[in-house]
């Protein structure tokens, strides 16, 4: 059984992920837990928790229920394991064991846990376990209006992205690059999981769920871009999507990378992801859904989707697991 | 005749449309919700003040949500009582008087269906709640909030917290500010301009 992560005690993902590289202080909302209840045997009960704290890249392992943590190590799959000196003796929740993950990706955690016997004064038993989980730079956030509301999403079909011909050429190029990058990031997961494919078009504007209009317009206030996604509140299914880009002398100078990142961000909104800015580093390895960037910024952000952007999509919303995603943050 | 029917069917399926109006959408789908995703750049106090004509502590006393003229979204006009002016560009409105603030979002009944519109990371104002707002807008008495949720601080128990959660540069650094601290930050930012 692949352990599941949950936030605030709720099931969160069908495959585990933990969040690393979070630069911000503790906020209870973004605690992430993974339970692995696999020790109910011979009258010995116990469980363990993968615990993603709010500190930078810290993941701890807690072994509860009168147990003693013996040894732990993790490694990238296929590589030699790196053994950590994390022996802790004690009888309850050794919360001071922290492991640091600096890179996104699939990890394997192997550890031994021993448990105080409940009868016969038997010596402690131990069991070695392996857990596969994913380390993400950023904690995925979902666009939903209440904790139990469905995630905003679109059916996995071809989605036309109308590119308004009156947008600046850099915008046209950046939006097309975003479409190419997002499709490429989703491609490895096609087959077992049905996923949308984005197709640029200059025929439009268009309507319905299988169209996103990238149009010239005036976002409010200081916003660099933006627009409405309209959906059925009972299902979360998108029924209309529009994004407006300012065609001004200022936006004419925006670089293609900025446009690409912003367009990717908007396309991921269409797939259900919400901004995860407060739990995501502002750097090139973060997430296109990450920290806000100044209009026209030339660096400090990824220009293609990261695992933080793709994993929740392919494991949850479009993996037939939409009820197992993280609780609302709205 | 057959060709004409085929053409009409093709047009009905594939004709590009302008942005659908909410009226059209509720007729087709019933109740709808609209999430407005606006990408506000990160703002420091200096940037908030730069884009503001008025920085004030207010209490929201009235709201009226309306369908936009093009029927593609909903906005709400809030009436707020001015409790304190922290910064004003030009002539400040009178403390104790009312100001009006327009912003995206709100709930209306359209064709018998509920249309709920919210701006992501900028929850709709609540009646009776107290805020410190960084307001821009026209020279008249109707203001807007140009920095979205970053330009709104909810006041509870004498402490102010930036409404934005995801784009909140200030909130991440200072989760809660005393009113005195916030005033000092505004004054300092205004003096640096």
DSSP per position, B72-118: S-EEEEEEEEEEEEEEESSSPPPTTSEEEEEEE-EEEEETTEEEEEE
Residues of B in contact with A219 (CB under 8 A): 38-39
**Closest Cβ opposite residue B40 in set A24, A204, A292:** A292
Between residues A208 and B141, the one the model is more confident about: A208
pLDDT at A103 over 90: no
Question: Which of B16, B44, B144 is the best substitution to test chain A (most A C-beta atoms within 10 A)?
Answer: B16
- The per-residue pLDDT for A314 is 77
* Mean pLDDT of all residues belonging to chain B: 88
What number is the average pLDDT over the span B180-190?
95
pLDDT of residue A34: 35
Whole-number pLDDT of residue A4: 32
Structure-block tokens of residue B63? 């709201």
Q: Determine whether the interchain pair B36/A240 forms a contact, defined as Cβ–Cβ distance below 8 Å.
A: no
Q: Which of A207, A230, A278 sits opposite B32 (nearest CB)?
A: A230
List alpha helices for chain A, DSSP H. 169-186, 256-271, 307-312
**Predicted pLDDT at A74:** 36
Put simply, the answer to whether A294 touches B16 (Cβ < 8 Å) is no
Q: Do B16 and A292 touch (CB under 8 A)?
A: no
Higher pLDDT, A228 or A132: A228
Q: Which pair of tokens denotes residue B190?
A: 């205004």
Instruction: Using the predicted structure, report yes or no on whether residue B105 has a pLDDT greater than 70.
Output: yes
Q: Are B168 and B94 in contact (CB under 8 A)?
A: no
Q: Are strands A238-245 and A211-216 parallel, antiparallel or unpaired?
A: parallel
pLDDT above 80: residue B122: yes
Mutate to test the interface with B, among A27, A210, A227 (most CBs of B within 10 A): A227
d(CA B26, CA B13): 19
Under DSSP, is residue B170 helix (H, G, I), strand (E, B) or coil? helix
**Whether A274 and B29 lie within 8 Å, measured CB to CB:** no
The whole-angstrom separation of Cα A235 and Cα A209 is: 13
- Asked if B32 lies within 8 A of A204 by C-beta distance, the reply is no
pLDDT attached to residue B15: 36
Question: What pLDDT sits at residue A136?
Answer: 64
Residue A245 pLDDT class (50, 70, 90 cuts): very high
Per-residue pLDDT reduced to its tens digit, B50-65: 999 999 999 999 999 9
Q: Band of the pLDDT at A57, cuts 50, 70, 90? A: very low
Cβ-defined contact of A294 to B172 (cutoff 8 Å) = no
Q: Which chain A residue shows the shortest CA-CA distance from B43? A: A294
Contacts of B39 in chain A (CB under 8 A): 219, 223-226, 262, 265-266, 292
Mean pLDDT of A296-306: 92
| Residues A17, A5 contacting (CB under 8 angstroms) | yes
| Tokens read off for B79 | 């009436």
Give the span between the Cα atoms of A144 and A150, in whole angstroms: 6
Contact: A205, B121; criterion CB under 8 Å: no
Contact (CB<8Å) A262/B31: no
CB contact under 8 A, B37 and A231: no
pLDDT at residue A247, as a whole number: 97
Between B64 and A204, the more confident residue is B64
> What is the structure's pLDDT at A283?
64
A72 min Cα distance to partner chain B (Å): 33
Question: What local confidence, expressed as pLDDT, does residue A212 receive?
Answer: 95
Q: Which residue has better confidence, A291 or B55?
A: B55
Q: Do B39 and A219 touch (CB under 8 A)?
A: yes
- Kindly tell me if the per-residue pLDDT of A80 is higher than 70: no
How many beta-carbon contacts under 8 Å exist across A and B? Answer: 151
ipTM of this predicted structure: 0.88
> Which tops the pLDDT comparison, A3 or A107?
A107
Distance CA A142, CA A330 (A): 9
Q: How close B2 gets to chain A, by Cα (Å)?
A: 26
Beta strand B142-144 pairing with B98-104: parallel
B152-158: average pLDDT = 96
């Amino acid at each position: 059984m692949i352990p599941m992560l949950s936030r605030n005690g709720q099931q969160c993902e069908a495959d585990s992920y933990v969040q690393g590289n979070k630069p911000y202080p503790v906020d209870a909302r973004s605690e992430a837990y993974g339970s692995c209840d696999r020790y109910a045997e011979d009258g010995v009960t116990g469980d363990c928790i993968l615990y993603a704290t709010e500190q930078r890249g810290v993941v701890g392992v807690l072994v509860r229920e009168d147990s003693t943590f013996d040894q732990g190590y993790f490694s990238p799959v296929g590589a030699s394991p790196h053994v950590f000196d994390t022996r802790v003796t004690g009888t309850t929740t050794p919360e001071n064991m922290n492991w640091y993950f600096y890179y996104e990706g699939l990890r394997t955690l192997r550890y031994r846990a021993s448990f105080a016997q409940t009868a016969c004064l038997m010596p402690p038993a131990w069991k070695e376990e392996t857990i596969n989980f994913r380390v993400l730079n950023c904690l995925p956030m979902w666009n939903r209006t209440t904790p139990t509301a469905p995630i905003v999403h679109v059916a996995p079909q071809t989605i036309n992205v109308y590119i308004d011909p009156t947008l600046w050429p850099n915008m046209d190029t950046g939006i097309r690059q975003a479409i190419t990058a997002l499709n490429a990031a989703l491609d490895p997961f096609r087959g077992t999981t049905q996923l949308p494919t984005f197709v640029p078009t200059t025929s439009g504007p268009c309507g319905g769920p299988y169209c996103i209009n990238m149009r010239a317009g005036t976002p409010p206030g200081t916003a660099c871009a933006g627009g409405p996604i309209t959906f059925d509140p009972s299902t979360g299914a998108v029924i209309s999507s529009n994004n407006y880009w300012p065609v001004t002398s200022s936006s004419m100078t925006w670089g293609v990378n900025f446009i690409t990142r912003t367009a990717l961000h908007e396309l991921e909104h269409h797939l259900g992801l919400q901004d995860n800015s407060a739990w995501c580093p502002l750097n090139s390895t973060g997430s296109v859904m990450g920290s806000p960037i100044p209009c026209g910024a030339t660096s400090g952000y990824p220009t293609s989707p990261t695992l933080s952007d793709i994993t929740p999509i392919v494991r949850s919303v479009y993996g037939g697991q939409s009820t197992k995603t993280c609780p609302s943050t709205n | 005749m057959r060709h004409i029917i085929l053409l009409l069917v093709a047009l009905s399926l594939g004709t590009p449309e302008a942005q659908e109006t909410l009226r059209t959408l509720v007729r087709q789908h019933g109740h709808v919700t609209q999430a407005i995703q606006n990408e506000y750049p990160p703002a420091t106090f200096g940037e908030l003040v730069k884009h503001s004509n008025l920085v004030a502590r207010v209490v929201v006393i009235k709201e009226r949500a309306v369908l936009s003229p093009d029927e593609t979204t909903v906005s709400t006009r809030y009436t707020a009582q001015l409790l304190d002016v922290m910064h004003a560009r030009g002539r400040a409105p009178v403390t104790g008087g009312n100001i009006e603030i327009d912003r995206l979002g709100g709930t209306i009944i359209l064709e018998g269906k509920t249309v709920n519109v919210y701006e992501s990371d900028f929850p709709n104002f609540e009646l009776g709640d107290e805020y410190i707002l960084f307001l821009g807008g026209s020279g008249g008495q109707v203001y807007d909030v140009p920095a979205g949720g970053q330009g709104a601080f909810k006041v509870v128990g004498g402490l102010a917290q930036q409404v934005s959660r995801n784009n909140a540069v200030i909130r991440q650094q200072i989760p809660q500010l005393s009113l005195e601290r916030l005033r000092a930050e505004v004054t300092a930012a205004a003096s640096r301009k």
